[in-house]
């Protein structure tokens, strides 16, 4: 009996321990399950808002209301709606757009025109409120008459001088065919170009139209400022059902999986050019800014205390463009005029003048009055200079005369064959002291002194050229002591020593274009790869050769300007004279030139080649 009691007690104790352990296991299981199964909120919403109802219905006819309502399946937000919403035809009074619940409301202050198709293009202005998913390129059309117009006009706008594609230009289409319409009236149809210069005018009525493009400086949808970039066609376009019914072509841009960027944890989308469509329309418009036709003072400024600069709108030709200073003779300054004489630079040399922050100056220049008559104007112009704030300097630094910054054209220790050494300063130089400048030739047994002369540039005292006879396969040393170059403000260049030689002619390449189907004359221009720098240009007439020698081995682009007015430069259009801008064409691809190579390329000038367009930027979420 005693033994049985002990066993029973032991059994109870074991059962209690087992129960306690089970309780702990159950608690841990529940806790872990609670962590694993906690709500995550579901997958992220990546879908744009969906239109569930519109007033009027999309494509409706006979609408007589005064506002448009578009209701979505979720709450939405508007992004820069005043700029993004394009309504065709535009109204004199800009409609008001706001959000009411899940509905976008656009209310018109002007009455709708009779029997007219209206198109509201929201572009990318509508997005959902929570995730910002954009409803891309949303259009909405309705008609106030019995018919919904359904034709389309497509095209591309290019800069006339370089064939680049400008974006966000207005394309205007007028039913009135008089040239004055684009200056006085709103268009019947309006659209914006995309980043590749492409445009599409939808819901167009059959008929004859004039087509224009405009960078609208004053946002009035009219070409009323001569300095607004503008494009026009010489003839009206005919919009018919046979040639102008066009389905919408979707951009098929695709994005590959992001690849890691070297040296960074960031990933960039990889774009395959074959997956990208740059849309091309039927019509091409060439954008230009018209040259000024009136004579006036274009600008006057004083960027430096000792430099006054004045520019007139047109070269004065045989007319006067003169400068003078109040109570000051010409010995206290000197004047430099540009090659076309439309710019005057006045360098003040008297300290009492350039230390005066306000000067009264007098100009005489030709102007065009309101009747179009050219006359002279005597003008009084106050030129002010606001000194920049100077950092604190020690007394020793204040006493030190600033060094003159001087640059030269010796690149990497070499000059091109036939090239002379030139020195350039930002400020005008006094005549250099040739006793402090020497050139040596290192001969086999001796060092020879090389004679030279130094000459000022005919247009500016900021450039001097050192002329001498230099031979290939020789080594030279240029030595200039401190004080050899001094500007008019008593700043002198530090001493310098430069070793150089002529680069061998076979270190360069030669490029020749064999032009066929040419006209007379053509300006053939050679640019660097990025077209930032004009390397060389030459004139070609008809079927001929255009050659460029002593070219650095690198990549080039080439362009032809068809110089119809024979003035030696590209001429923009003039809408008042119905004159289109001079045409240009590009060699269809970049040209890689190697050293010691003579490259000859065939070029058909009868084909107007446009440059390949840049790929669109692709953004991923």
CB atoms within 10 A of CB 79: 14
**Do residue 511 and residue 499 come from a single domain?**
no
pLDDT at position 244 is 73
**Do residue 456 and residue 499 come from a single domain?**
yes
Lowest mean pLDDT among 77-91, 166-180, 255-269: 255-269
Confirm if 270 and 258 have CB atoms less than 8 A apart.
yes
pLDDT band for position 415 (cuts 50, 70, 90): very high
Range of the domain at 222: 151-252
pLDDT at position 446 is 86
Q: Taking the mean position of all CA atoms in its chain, how far away is CA 511?
A: 29
Query: Does residue 355 fall inside a structural domain?
Result: yes
**Do residue 475 and residue 558 come from a single domain?**
no
CATH of the domain at 480: 2.60.40.1220
Asked whether residue 10 carries a pLDDT value surpassing 50, the answer given is: yes
Local structure of residue 5 (DSSP, 8 states)? H
Query: Does residue 170 fall inside a structural domain?
Result: yes
Asked whether residue 126 carries a pLDDT value surpassing 80, the answer given is: yes
Please return the burial class of 423, using the count of CB atoms within 10 Å of its CB with bins 0-12, 13-18 and 19+.
Answer: buried
pLDDT at position 619 is 32
Name the one residue in this structure whose structure tokens are 């630094």: 397
State pLDDT tens for residues 552-601.
Answer: 999 999 999 999 999 999 999 999 999 999 999 999 999 999 999 999 99
Instruction: For residues 345-360, give the mean pLDDT.
Output: 95
Instruction: For residues 274-281, give the mean pLDDT.
Output: 63
**Do residue 308 and residue 373 come from a single domain?**
yes
**Do residue 488 and residue 511 come from a single domain?**
no
* H runs (alpha helix) in 236-383: 351-354
CATH of the domain at 355: 2.60.40
**Do residue 525 and residue 552 come from a single domain?**
yes
**Do residue 303 and residue 377 come from a single domain?**
yes
State pLDDT tens for residues 432-454.
Answer: 999 999 999 998 788 999 999 99
Confirm if 299 and 342 have CB atoms less than 8 A apart.
no
pLDDT band for position 330 (cuts 50, 70, 90): confident
Asked whether residue 308 carries a pLDDT value surpassing 50, the answer given is: yes
Global pTM value: 0.79
Asked whether residue 199 carries a pLDDT value surpassing 70, the answer given is: yes
Asked whether residue 261 carries a pLDDT value surpassing 70, the answer given is: no
Asked whether residue 52 carries a pLDDT value surpassing 70, the answer given is: yes
User: What percent of the chain stands above pLDDT 90?
Assistant: 71
* Pairing state between β 463-467 and 421-425: antiparallel
Query: Does residue 329 fall inside a structural domain?
Result: yes
Which residues are CB-contacts of 15 (< 8 A; sequence separation ≥ 6)? none
Report the distance separating Cα 133 and Cα 406, nearest Å. 56
pLDDT at position 6 is 44
Secondary structure (DSSP) of 14-32:
HHHHHHHHHHHHHHHHHHH
pLDDT at position 4 is 45
Confirm if 287 and 157 have CB atoms less than 8 A apart.
yes
**Do residue 513 and residue 499 come from a single domain?**
no
Last residue of a domain, one of 482, 503, 524: 503
**Do residue 411 and residue 439 come from a single domain?**
yes
pLDDT at position 242 is 84
Report the distance separating Cα 305 and Cα 383, nearest Å. 10
pLDDT at position 46 is 81
Instruction: For residues 285-301, give the mean pLDDT.
Output: 95
Query: Does residue 1 fall inside a structural domain?
Result: no
Query: Does residue 272 fall inside a structural domain?
Result: no
* H runs (alpha helix) in 297-358: 351-354
Query: Does residue 436 fall inside a structural domain?
Result: yes
Report the distance separating Cα 377 and Cα 188, nearest Å. 43
pLDDT band for position 134 (cuts 50, 70, 90): very high
Structural domains counted in the chain: 5
**Do residue 576 and residue 496 come from a single domain?**
no
Instruction: For residues 363-384, give the mean pLDDT.
Output: 94
Query: Does residue 396 fall inside a structural domain?
Result: no
**Do residue 412 and residue 496 come from a single domain?**
yes
- Three-state DSSP class for residue 341: coil
Of residues 332, 321, 334, the one with CA closest to residue 362? 321
Asked whether residue 475 carries a pLDDT value surpassing 60, the answer given is: yes
CB atoms within 10 A of CB 338: 13
Q: How far is CA 135 from CA 76, 107, 254, in A?
A: 10, 21, 18
pLDDT at position 300 is 97
Asked whether residue 5 carries a pLDDT value surpassing 60, the answer given is: no
pLDDT at position 612 is 61
**Do residue 304 and residue 354 come from a single domain?**
yes
Phi, psi values for residue 140, rounded to 5°: -145, 125
CATH of the domain at 238: 2.60.40.10
Q: What's the chain's average pLDDT? A: 87
Instruction: For residues 515-532, give the mean pLDDT.
Output: 94
Instruction: For residues 256-263, give the mean pLDDT.
Output: 44
Query: Does residue 258 fall inside a structural domain?
Result: no
pLDDT band for position 12 (cuts 50, 70, 90): low
pLDDT at position 550 is 94
**Phi-psi map region of 490: left, alpha, beta (phi>0 left; psi -120 to 50 alpha):** left
Instruction: For residues 175-201, give the mean pLDDT.
Output: 94
């Amino acid at each position: 009996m005693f033994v049985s009691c002990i066993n029973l007690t032991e059994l109870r104790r074991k059962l209690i321990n087992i129960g306690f352990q089970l309780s702990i296991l159950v608690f841990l299981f529940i806790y872990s399950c609670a962590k694993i199964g906690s709500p995550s909120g579901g997958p992220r919403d990546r879908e744009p808002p969906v239109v569930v109802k519109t007033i009027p219905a999309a494509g409706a006819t006979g609408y007589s209301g005064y506002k448009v309502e578009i209701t979505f399946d979720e709450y939405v937000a508007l992004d820069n709606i005043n700029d993004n919403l394009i309504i065709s035809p535009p109204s004199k009074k800009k409609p008001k757009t706001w959000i009411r619940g899940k509905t976008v409301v656009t209310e018109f202050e002007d009455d709708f025109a009779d029997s007219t198709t209206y198109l509201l293009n929201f572009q990318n202005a509508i997005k959902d409120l929570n995730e910002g998913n954009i409803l891309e390129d949303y259009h909405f059309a309705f008609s106030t008459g019995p018919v919904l117009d359904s034709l389309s006009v497509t095209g591309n706008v290019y800069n006339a001088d370089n064939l680049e594609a400008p974006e966000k230009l207005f394309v205007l289409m007028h039913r009135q065919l008089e040239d004055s319409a684009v200056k006085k009236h709103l268009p019947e149809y309006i659209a914006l170009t995309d980043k590749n210069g492409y445009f599409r005018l939808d819901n167009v009525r059959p008929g004859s139209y004039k087509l224009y493009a405009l960078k609208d400086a004053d946002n009035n949808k009219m070409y009323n400022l001569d300095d607004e970039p503008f494009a026009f066609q010489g003839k009206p376009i005919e919009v018919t059902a046979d040639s102008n019914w066009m389905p919408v072509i979707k951009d098929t841009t695709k994005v590959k999986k992001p690849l890691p960027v070297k040296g960074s944890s960031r990933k960039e989308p990889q774009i395959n050019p074959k997956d990208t469509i740059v849309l091309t329309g039927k019509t091409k418009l060439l954008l230009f800014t018209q040259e000024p036709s009136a004579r006036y003072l274009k600008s006057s400024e004083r960027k430096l205390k000792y430099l006054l600069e004045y520019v007139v709108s047109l070269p004065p030709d045989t007319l006067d463009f003169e400068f003078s200073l109040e109570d000051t003779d010409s010995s206290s300054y000197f004047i430099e005029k540009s090659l076309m004489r439309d710019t005057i630079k006045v360098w003040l040399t008297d300290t009492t003048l350039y230390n005066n922050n306000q000067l009264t100056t007098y100009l005489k220049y030709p102007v065009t009055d309101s009747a179009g008559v050219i006359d002279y104007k005597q003008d009084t112009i106050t030129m002010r200079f606001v000194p920049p704030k100077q950092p604190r300097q020690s007394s020793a630094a204040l006493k030190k005369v600033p060094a003159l910054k001087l640059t030269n054209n010796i690149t990497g220790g070499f000059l091109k064959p036939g090239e002379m050494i030139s020195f350039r300063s930002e400020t005008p130089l006094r005549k250099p002291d040739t006793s402090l400048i020497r050139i040596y030739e290192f001969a086999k047994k001796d060092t020879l002194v090389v004679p030279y002369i130094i000459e000022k540039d005919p247009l500016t005292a900021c450039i001097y050229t050192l002329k001498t006879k230099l031979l290939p396969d020789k080594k030279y040393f240029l030595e200039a002591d401190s004080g050899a170059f001094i500007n008019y403000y008593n700043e002198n260049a530090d001493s310098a020593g430069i070793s150089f030689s002529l680069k061998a002619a076979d270190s360069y390449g030669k490029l020749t274009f064999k032009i066929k189907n040419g006209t007379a004359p053509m300006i053939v221009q050679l640019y660097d790869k990025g077209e930032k720098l004009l390397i060389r240009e030459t004139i070609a007439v008809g079927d001929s050769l255009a050659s460029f020698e002593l070219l650095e081995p690198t990549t080039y682009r080439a362009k032809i300007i068809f110089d119809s007015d024979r003035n030696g430069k590209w001429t923009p259009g003039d809408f008042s004279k119905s004159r289109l801008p001079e045409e240009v064409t590009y060699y269809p691809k970049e040209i890689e030139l190697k050293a010691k190579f003579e490259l000859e390329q065939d070029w058909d000038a009868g084909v107007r080649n446009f440059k390949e367009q840049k790929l669109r930027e692709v953004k991923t979420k």
